[in-house]
Structure 1
Amino acid sequence: MNLLFLGTPDFAVPTLKALHASHHTVQAVVTQPDRPKGRGRAAQPPPVKEFAMAHGLDVLQPDKASAPDFVETLKPFQPDLIVVIAYGQLLKPNFLELPKHFCMNIHASILPKYRGAAPINWALINGETESGVTTMKIDPGLDSGDVLLIRKVRIGPDDTAQDLHDALAAAGAELALETIAQLDAGTLSSTPQNHDAATFARKLKKEDGFLYWNQPTQRLHDLVRGLNPWPGAYTFLNGQRLKLFRTETAPGTQTDEPGAVVRVTPYGIEVGTGDDRLILTGLQPEGKKKMSAQEFLAGHSVQIGDRFESAPHPINSK
Structure 2
Amino acid sequence: DRPQGRGRKILPTPIKKIALDKGLEVFQPENINNEESIKKMKEFNPDIILVVAYGQILSSHILNIPKIGCINIHGSLLPKYRGAAPINRAIINGEKETGITFMFMKEKVDAGEIIFQEKIDILPDETCGELYCRLSALSARTLSKLLEKIKSGKIERISQDNKLATFARKMNKEDGKIDWSDRGEKVYNLIRGTIPFPGAFTYYQGRKLKIIQAKFLDDYQDEADTGFPKPGMVIKIEKDSILISTGDKGMIKILRLIPAGSKELTAKQFVNGYKIKVGEVLG
Give the TM-score, by structure 1 length.
0.81
Find the counterpart in structure 2 of residue 105 from structure 1: 72
Q: Is residue 234–residue 242 contact of structure 2 (8 Å, CA) maintained in 1?
A: yes
Offset of 1:221 from its aligned partner?
A: 0.3
Show CA shifts across 1:121-155 (max 9, x none): 11111111111000000111110000001001111
Offset of 1:39 from its aligned partner?
A: 7.3
Offset of 1:107 from its aligned partner?
A: 0.5
Offset of 1:246 from its aligned partner?
A: 1.6
Q: Is residue 135–residue 175 contact of structure 1 (8 Å, CA) maintained in 2?
A: no
Work out the CA distance in 1 between the residues paired with 2:81 and 2:12: 28
Secondary structure of 2:248 counterpart: coil
Tell me the number of residue pairs that the alignment of Structure 1 and Structure 2 aligns.
276
Find the counterpart in structure 1 of residue 235 from structure 2: 262
Are 1:195 and 2:162 an aligned pair?
yes
* Paired AA for residue 254 in structure 2: L
Secondary structure of 1:59 counterpart: coil
Identity of aligned residues (%): 38
Secondary structure of 2:254 counterpart: strand
* Paired AA for residue 281 in structure 1: L
1:241 pairs with one of 208, 231, 242: 208
**Structure 2, unpaired ranges of 5+:** 221-225
* Paired AA for residue 203 in structure 2: F
Are 1:174 and 2:141 an aligned pair?
yes
Show CA shifts across 1:226-246 (max 9, x none): 110111111111121111112
Offset of 1:254 from its aligned partner?
A: 3.3
Offset of 1:278 from its aligned partner?
A: 1.4
Show CA shifts across 1:192-211 (max 9, x none): 00011111111110111111
**Structure 1, unpaired ranges of 5+:** 1-33, 310-318
2:267 pairs with one of 288, 293, 310: 293
Work out the CA distance in 1 between the residues paired with 2:275 and 2:16: 46
Q: What is the correspondence of 1:27-46 to structure 2 with a 5 Å cutoff?
A: 34=1, 43-46=10-13
Q: What is the correspondence of 1:139-150 to structure 2 with a 5 Å cutoff?
A: 139-150=106-117
70-79 or 115-124, which moves further after superposition? 70-79
Secondary structure of 1:180 counterpart: helix
Work out the CA distance in 1 between the residues paired with 2:137 and 2:5: 28
Work out the CA distance in 2 between the residues paired with 1:274 and 1:48: 46
RMSD across aligned positions (CA): 1.9
Find the counterpart in structure 2 of residue 74 from structure 1: 41
Work out the CA distance in 2 between the residues paired with 1:100 and 1:50: 27
Q: Is residue 211–residue 233 contact of structure 1 (8 Å, CA) maintained in 2?
A: yes
* Paired AA for residue 269 in structure 1: I
Find the counterpart in structure 2 of residue 307 from structure 1: 281
Offset of 1:59 from its aligned partner?
A: 1.5
Offset of 1:50 from its aligned partner?
A: 4.2
* Paired AA for residue 281 in structure 2: R
Show CA shifts across 1:264-293 (max 9, x none): 111311111111221111212223333332
* Paired AA for residue 293 in structure 1: A
Q: Is residue 216–residue 275 contact of structure 1 (8 Å, CA) maintained in 2?
A: yes
Give the TM-score, by structure 2 length.
0.91
Secondary structure of 1:116 counterpart: coil
Find the counterpart in structure 1 of residue 119 from structure 2: 152
Q: What is the correspondence of 1:210-229 to structure 2 with a 5 Å cutoff?
A: 210-229=177-196
Find the counterpart in structure 2 of residue 315 from structure 1: none
Are 1:57 and 2:24 an aligned pair?
yes
- Give the direction of change, closer, same or farther, for the CA distance of 1:54–1:120 in structure 2 (3 Å limit): farther
Find the counterpart in structure 1 of residue 223 from structure 2: none
Work out the CA distance in 2 between the residues paired with 1:85 and 1:156: 24
